[in-house]
Amino acid sequence: MDKQKAQLIVALDVATLDEAKKLVRALDGIVDTFKVGSQLFTACGPEAVRYLLREGKEVFLDLKFHDIPNTVAGALAAAVNITEGGRGIMMCTLHALGDLEMLEAAAQAARKEARITGVKRPLLVAITVLTSEARKDNIPRLVLERAALAKQAGLDGVVASSQEAALIRREFGKDFVIVTPGIRPKGSAAGDQKRVTTPADAIAHGSDFLVVGRPVVNAPDPAAAAKQILKEIEEANQ
């Protein structure tokens, strides 16, 4: 997987597995990593993940686990157990609004289950502040506090707006993973996202993975839309 493809994640925010399959086929050879979120997972469960794994794709499971520590630990163990052909999910989200005990329990469960199952442990990233939340003066402080909690708990990184990515990168170093949703290519509408950014700006601010949904999913030609985003990413990496 080359550097540009590794940075783009397309969100399969669709209602059915058939729609997801159609989109994956349209993007075959262009996009390698896909996000399975609440909508698709609620509609068809682990089969969406297994389908992607069978197709040789990487899976970002974005279910934003947030509950009591024991429940979240069990959910993480179950997520790690969604495998196909000896492969499992690449990355998974939890809410940093959960306390340190919850995040630590999740990290421990993921490590233990990966050893038992014999798959690579997925990256664990904590949601800091949703990109649909309007900008407030205290958002940078909240993001850094929640990122610090994630790091203390042994997580790999966070999900954060590009607007806070530079702060996170400066505070936590180059190995702390930053996933940025709300990515909109040049000229795209923001939709219900309040804190959006272009691929070039996100990369400049230090984001590792860029999550793109509607600009690709709803495009008349998803393949062309994805290629344009990859072009912007490639130019930003030069």
Q: How many CB atoms lie within 10 A of CB 186?
A: 11
Residue 5 is a catalytic residue: no
The torsion angles phi and psi of 11, rounded to 5 degrees, stand at -85, 120
CB-based contact 142:175 (threshold 8 Å): no
Residues 6+ apart with CB under 8 A from 53: 59, 83, 84, 85, 87, 88
Among candidate residues 3, 64, 136, 174, the one labeled active-site is 64
CB-based contact 190:184 (threshold 8 Å): yes
Quick one: tokens of 195? 């804190």
CB-based contact 81:117 (threshold 8 Å): yes
| Residues forming the active site | 64
